[in-house]
Amino acid sequence: MATLDAALLRASWRSWISSDLERVGPNWLQWVWTLLFAMGLAAVFTIAGFLVFYRGPGLGSAVGWAEWYGRNFVVCMTIAALIHAMFDGIGKLVGGPPAIRRWPDWKRSLFFGGVPLVGVIIGWPLGAMIGLGEPTLAFFVDNPRTLAVSVTIALGLSLALHFYFAARSRELQAEKRATEAQLRLLQAQIEPHFLFNTLANVAALIDHEPAKAKSTLGAFTDYLRASLGQLRRDEVTLADELALAEAYLRVQGARMEDRLRYTIDAGDDARRAPLLPLLLQPLVENAVLHGVEPALDGGQVRIAARIEGQALVIEVQDDGPGPAAAPRRPPAGAARGGNGVALANIRERLLQRHGSAATLEVLPAHPGTLARLRLPLDPITPPPTPR
C-alpha cells in the first residue's frame, strides 16, 4: 500500500482536478477529494442561499445554517458522485485513458465537457429529492423566483464545469504533445552522433573486412528503419521495441566485437503487449555506455520481459560498475544530456500516460545495474506497423 506523504497527496489531487482518468494514489483517496469538493461547494451554496433568500427566521441560527448546509451538501455530493462515477465507468467501457487519448479533439472535449453537464442535469433534481424532500420541492413550485434562481445556479454550475473540463482536456493534450515533441527532439539530437560513428566504422572496415562492413551496415539499416518507425507512432508493441534494441546492439557489437555480449528473453505474450515508443531504447543505451564500455573486457547486457498479473515487467541489466559508480562522460560530440536526463524523460512520460501505475527502478545488481520497468497492461490493440 502506498504511503500517504505530501508528494503523493499533491499528485493525487492534481490527477483528480485534471480529470484525465489517470488516477494517482489509492482509489479511496480520489473519493475523498470528491467529498471535500462537495463539502466546499455546499458551503458556497449555503452562503449564496442566505444572501438571496433570507427574509427572517430560519437561517438566523446555527441550527438553521446546519440544516440548509446539510441539504445543500446532499445535492452537491449527489452531483459530484455521479460525475465521478460516470468518468470512471464510461472511461473503462471505452478502453481507459489510452483509448481516450487517441480520440479526436472534438470527441475528447465532448466527453470531458458533456459528462459534468449530464451529471448536473441528472444529479441536481435527484439530490433535491433526496436532501430537500417533497415539501421543499413543493415550496419551489409555489415560489417561482426561488425556483428560477436555483435553476440558474444549477445551469451556471453545469456550464462552468463544462467549459473547465473542455479546456482542461485541450490543455492535457497540449502537454502530451509537448512531451512527445521533447522526446523527438532528444532522439534527433542523439542520432547524428551514432550515425557518424557507425558510418566511420563501416568506412574503416570496407578495405580490410568487407564482409564485416556489410554486416554492420545491414544492422545499422535495420536500426534506422525501426527507429524511424517508432518516431511516427504513439504506441508500439514490446516486439517493436525489442527489434530496435537488438538492431542497436548488433551495430554496437560490430564496433566492440567480443567486448559486447547480450541476451534477449521475452515470451510471446510479453512481446504482444502495447507500450509507449522508445521506452526501452534509452535503458539499453545506458547499459552499453555506462555498464559495458568502461570495462576493459567489456561486459554483457541482458534484456528480459515477462507478464506478472496485470503488468508488463521489462528488465535491462548489465554487469558493469553499478549505479553507485561515477557516471561515465559521454563521447566527445555526443548530444545526450546524460543517464539522468534519459531516466527523467522516461519517468515523465510514464507519469503522463499511466500515473502512479507505472514505475521505473534503477537498482544495484551485484555486479552491475538493473533497470526495471513495470507497466500496466492496457486492453488496447496497437495500430499496425506502417509499411
277 prior amide bond cis, ω within 30: no
Question: What is the bridge-based pairing of β-strands 299-308 and 311-318?
Answer: antiparallel
Contact 21, 91 (CB under 8 A): yes
> pLDDT at position 335, please?
40
How many residues does this entry show for the chain? Answer: 387
Distance (Å) of CA 100 to CA 61, 94, 104, 144 = 49, 7, 9, 42
- Write out residues in the chain with pLDDT < 70, as ranges: 1-4, 18-23, 52-64, 98, 101, 132-194, 228-234, 325-340, 355, 378-387
Question: Phi then psi for 99, rounded to 5 degrees?
Answer: -70, -40
| Predicted local distance difference test score (pLDDT) of residue 216 | 81
Phi and psi of 360, rounded to 5°? -130, 120
| Backbone phi and psi for residue 305, each to the nearest 5 degrees, phi listed first | -145, 145
Q: pLDDT value at position 381?
A: 39
- Neighbour count for residue 106 (Cβ, 10 Å): 8
pTM of the model: 0.55
Distance (Å, rounded) from C-alpha 293 to C-alpha 287?
9
Amino acid at 297: D
**Residue 242: per-residue pLDDT:** 94
The residue whose grid cell reads 473547465 is 164
Task: Return the CATH superfamily for domain 209-376.
Answer: Histidine kinase-like ATPase, C-terminal domain (3.30.565.10)
At residue 382, the pLDDT reads: 40
Beta-carbon neighbour count of residue 96 at 10 Å?
16
Angle at 204 (CA atoms; ends 225, 186), nearest 5 degrees: 40
Angstrom distance (rounded) from CA 350 to CA 357: 9
Per residue in 39-53, pLDDT (tens digit) is 988 888 788 777 766
Question: Which residues touch 347 (CB under 8 Å, ≥6 apart)?
Answer: 360
How many Cα atoms sit within 13 Å of 129 on the Cβ side? 4
CA-based end-to-end distance of the chain:
44
| Domain locations in the chain as residue ranges | 6-175, 209-376
Name residue, grid cell 452562503.
47
Nearest to 162 by CA among 119, 201, 205, 132: 119
pLDDT at 181: 65
- Under 8 Å CB-to-CB from 387, ≥6 apart: which residues? none
